[in-house]
Chain A
Amino acid sequence: MIDDLIGQEEAFVAWLRSLDAVGIADAATVVMLCAGAFFALVGSVGLLKLDTPMKRLHAPTKASTLGVGSLLLASMIHAYAHGEGSVHEVLIMAFLFVTAPISANFISKVNLHREDVDPTPPPPKDSTWATFDTSPQDKAAPDRP
């Protein structure tokens, strides 16, 4: 039985050696490049095509972020397949993925406060939504110069 296992292991190692690692990495790079290009394009087409500001907020914040993530992944695979690898892209990817929801939240707040969108429905429990919940003294304060 142990002889069988050793034989399988040698066969497995031979199979691994027979694989063309660079070819597989190139194929993965091509797939990731195409996916990233597609999602970046979808994000911008949605930004142009959708009809209300809040709907337009959906397209770039999700699709474009995913597209750039795919392109960065393609760049990492490419760097590991040809020459020395790099993990700089992980830094950019993490930063983009963390900051995209924050900027989307800010832009939706801008849309709400400038009343470019339909009025929000009443909240289920509280008296008003948190972003509209300014204290009375702040409301009474005069505008700063």
Chain B
Amino acid sequence: MIDIALKLAFASVSLAQILAMVRLIKGPCIGDRILALDTMVVNAIALIVVLGMWGGTQLYFEAALIFAMLGFVSTVAYCRFVLRGDLIE
């Protein structure tokens, strides 16, 4: 039962990642592209977590945590660069 649910979660999150990538390529304005990158980071965290459940290991959680932190920092950095023109004033 859990195997089927894990496969379903893998398929759904992968499809979500592909859809976000379509918006990243298509996105008419910069805000859309930043948002698509943010969504892709969140979906990557979901994929890592599901992979950890699949393998029954705790090894991947540090990777997921670092992904979360780097995703937030990169989103804020992109937004500040677009808003202010530079990052460190």
Contacts and interface: CB of A to CB of B under 8 A. Distances in A.
Interface of A: 26-27, 29-30, 33-34, 36-38, 40-41, 43-45, 47-48, 53, 56-57, 60-61, 64-65, 67-68, 71-72, 74-75, 78-79, 82-83, 86, 88-89, 91-92, 95-96, 99-100, 102-103, 106-111, 113-114, 116, 143-144
B40 to A, nearest CB: 9
Interface string B31-62: 11011101100110110011011001010011
A103 B75 contact: yes
A95 B9 contact: no
A16 to B, nearest CB: 23
Contacts, number: 170
A64 B68 CA distance: 13
A38 B42 contact: no
A110 B42 contact: no
B31 A40 contact: no
Contacts of B64: 92
B71 to A, nearest CB: 8
A6 to B, nearest CB: 38
Contacts of A88: 58, 61-62, 65
B79 A92 contact: no
Contacts of A68: 42-43, 45-46, 49
Nearest to A112: B31
